Structure 1
Amino acid sequence: MARDVQITFDCADPAALAAFWAQAMGYRVQDPPPGFATWEEALEAFGVPPERRNDASAVVDPDGSGPRLFFQRVPEGKQVKNRVHVDLRAAPGLQGDARMAALEAEAERLAGHGATRLRRHEPEPPLGAGHIVMADPEGNEFCLD
């Protein structure tokens, strides 16, 4: 049985983290409900007070094939290393120097959007192709693979 999958991030600033992951994955912020031109208009109509309007955000794959990413505000900051993380496949089909160059270029692009580079793992054939570990603007680890 096929299921829809949503990946949820606990965070301090849902709108900002959603914007980062939209850039990272080529996604877009989810449209407001039908009948509303903007989320601000919808939240106003729903009676959500201004201080609660950044409690959640979501981004979606424009092609509709990838999982929805949902961002929810929580009071506590990140405490420990993630047990589950996202791998961004930034160099599919590439190997060796070409692969690592593609990963480096993507690491630089994402750093320009607020990511932090944590470490690089060199290729270790036959099974280790090499990857770069990054953190999003709130410290959630992800890999460029």
Structure 2
Amino acid sequence: MQLTFDATDPGALATFWAEVLGYKLDDPPAGFASWDEALEAWGVPEERRNDKSALVDPEGRGPRLFFQKVPEQKVAKNRLHLDVRSAVGLEGEERMAAFEARAAELVELGATRVKRFEPGGLDAGHIVMQDPDGNEFCLD
């Protein structure tokens, strides 16, 4: 399985999500020590070398994440978003404190905090964030 992100800067967005999820950049193809070496050998011009990037779960359990360059900015709310599990097993204020700590870390990486939803009813509480390209995700 692979999830694909449209991005204005695939390399930067891949770096952000690698930090958030504990993923790593996809290894270069066999026979190449780095992606730069492979792209050079394939004749890819320098200005096109950030057109794509990919991440993989180092434990091999999660989906591959693919980032592709698009010319336009994001203009509407995502119809699909990721929930970044940041307080598994916690409840109430302890849960929200864990979200606040994680939100602060992610803001340092380039995320934007959008809104905090307090616990109540069927909602155990969460924080809506945006990645550096404006894609919504939740700390849940």
| TM category, shorter | over 0.9
Runs of at least 5 residues in structure 2 that lack an aligned partner in the other structure? none
Of all paired residues, the percent bearing the same amino acid is 66
Candidates 136, 142, 145, aligned match of 2:137 = 142
Residues 111-138 of structure 1, C-alpha deviations (whole Å, 9 max, x = no match): 110000000000014x210000000001
TM-score, normalised via structure 1 length: 0.95
- Corresponding residue for residue 7 of structure 1: 3
- Corresponding residue for residue 92 of structure 1: 88
- Corresponding residue for residue 50 of structure 1: 46
Q: Distance in 2 between matches of 1:141 and 1:96?
A: 23
Q: Secondary structure at the match of 2:109?
A: coil
State the number of aligned residues: 140
- Corresponding residue for residue 126 of structure 2: 131
1:39 to partner: Cα distance: 0.5
Q: Secondary structure at the match of 2:39?
A: helix
Q: Secondary structure at the match of 1:112?
A: helix
Runs of at least 5 residues in structure 1 that lack an aligned partner in the other structure? none
1:47 to partner: Cα distance: 1.1
- Corresponding residue for residue 26 of structure 2: 30
- Corresponding residue for residue 117 of structure 1: 113
Q: Distance in 2 between matches of 1:128 and 1:79?
A: 27
